Amino acid sequence: RTAVVLLTRDLRVHDNPALAAACAADRVVPLYVLDPTLADISPNRTRFLHQSLADLRGQFRERGGDLVVRHGDPVAEAIRAARDTGADTIHLAADVSGYARRRERRLTADCEHHRIDLELHPGVTVVEPGAVRPGGGGDAYRVFTPYYRAWSASTWRKIAPTPERLTLPDGLTAGDLPALPAGESPHTSEGGESPGRRRLSLWLKKDLSGYGDAHDDMAGDATSRLSPYLRWGCLSPLEVAEAARARDADAFVRQVCWRDFYYQVARTYPKLSTEALRTSGDQNWRYDDDALQHWQDGLTGVPIVDAGMRQLRDEGWMHNRARLITAAFLTKHLGVDWRLGVAWFFRWLLDGDVPNNSGNWQWTAGTGNDTRPYRRFNPIRQALRFDPEGVYVRRYVPELKGIEGAAVHQPWRLPESEFRGLDYPGPLESHRDEAVWLR
C-alpha cells in the first residue's frame, strides 16, 4: 500500500499525526506543494518556510525517504501524486483559516471523485478547535477563561510515534527546493524542526516557575521565542504543552492555551481578520496615511512604541508586551483601523497567522474577545513598568541611546536644546480624548 501525506504547516517528524498515519503504509509520499497564492505575503515567513523544508528533507533522508516538492495547486498536486503512485489514501492535518478550509473542501471533493480516501488529523493545536465547547451549546467562546478551564480539564490526545523509516515509491522524483529566498529582516530566527527542538530543549532547562513574573520584562526577553516554530508546526504544540505541564509551568501553558483559543475563535468566526467580533468599543476608525506611516517606521515619537515597531522589522518578531503597546497605540491613541495593523504585522511576523494575529488585534482594539473593550494602555505607564530602566528602548532606538535610565521614555521632557539635538521626533498627537498621558 502507498499513502500520500500532504504537509502544510506541520513541518516536523516528531508528533506529527498525519505523517505517522501515512507511515503505516508500505510506501509514503511526504508531499509539500509550494503554492503561488501564498508566495508573496511575507518574505520573512517565506524564508523561514524554505529553511524548514530543507530541514525536513534532511530528516526524511536520514530515514531513507525524501521530501517530495512540487509547485502549483496543493489539491491538484496531491491528487496527481496519489494517482501517479497508486496511493489509496491522502493524509492531511486539519486547519482553520478560510484558505485552509477551502483547500480542504476542494480536496474532499476531488478525492471522492477519484475514489481516494482522505483522512484528516489533529496536530496544529494542542486541543482540536471545536473539541471543547461552552455550556449551553455551540462552540463559540466569547472570552478566554471559561475556554481555558475546559481546555485544561479535557483529555489530550496521545503523542504520535516518530517514524523510523520512510520508503518512497519507486521511480518518484523528489523535486528540487528553490534557492533560499531573501527575507526582509536582518536578524530572524532560523526555520526548521532541528533549530526549533534545540530552542525548546534550552527553554525546558530553564526554571520555568519564574515565567509568570518575568515574561513581561521587555529588556529581559524572558519568553520562549517558540512562536515561529509553533506557527509552522516545526514543533508540536501538544509536545510543548505537555513538557511544560510536566514542569508545573502553568503560566506558560496558559499562554499556549491562548494560541488554541484563537484557533477555536477563528473556526467559529471565519471573518476574524476583516470583521469586528463585537460592535461595542471604539468603531469610528480613521484612515490617516501619515500617522500610519510614522507608526510603521517606528517614528511616532513615543520611544516604547518605536522600539517595538523597530524590533518587528529587525527580527520579524516582537515581544508580546510590545505588541500590546504598539497595537493599542495605533488603534486607541491614533484611532487608526485595526485591520491596517493586522496587515502590517502579517507582512513581518515569522509567527504571523490569521487566528493569532487577527484575534489579538481585535482584543487590543476592543472589537474582540475582551470583557473590557474600552481598556486603555497608557504607553508611558507601560514603559515605566515593563522597561523601567529603558534598556529595551535603547536597544532598538539608537537615537536615544545617550539618555540614561527611565528618562528615555519621555525625551520631550528633556531641556529643549537637548531634545532638539536628538534627531528624534516629538510624539504624534492623539485622536482620542485621553491624550493626557503625555503630560
Which residue ranges are tagged as binding site? 211, 223-227, 252, 255-262, 351-353
Residue 319 vs residues 79, 217, 265: alpha-carbon distances, Å: 41, 9, 23
Comparison of 359 and 411: residue with beta carbon closer to ligand FAD: 359
**Residue with smaller CB distance to ligand FAD, 88 or 221:** 221
Name the minimum Å distance from CB 258 to ligand FAD. Answer: 4
Beta-ladder partners of 121:
93
Q: How remote is the C-alpha of 389 from its chain's centroid?
A: 29
Cβ atoms within 10 Å, residue 381: 12
Of the pair 16, 85, the CB lying nearest ligand FAD is at 16
Query: How many residues are present in the chain?
Result: 439
| CB-CB contact of 392 with 305 (8 Å) | no
The burial of 419, by beta-carbon neighbours within 10 Å (0-12 exposed, 13-18 middle, 19 or more buried), is given as: middle
Cell output for 404: 540614561
Q: Which of 281, 266, 238 is CA-nearest to residue 17?
A: 238
Residues forming contacts to ligand FAD in the complex (CB under 6 A) are: 215, 223-227, 230-231, 255-256, 258-259, 262, 320, 323-324, 327, 345, 349, 351-353, 356-357, 360-361, 364
Instruction: Round to whole Å and give the CA distance between 190 and 391.
Output: 25
Instruction: Single out the residue of 45, 47, 351, 23 nearest to residue 177, CA to CA.
Output: 47
Quick one: cell of 30?
511526504
Whole-number Å distance between alpha carbons of 429 and 375: 19
Measured between alpha carbons, how far is 222 from 215 in angstroms, rounded to an integer?
A: 5
Q: CB-wise, 2 or 125, nearer to ligand FAD? A: 125
Residues making up the annotated binding site for FAD are 211, 223-227, 252, 255-262, 351-353
Which of 25, 26, 28, 30 has its CA nearest to residue 12?
30
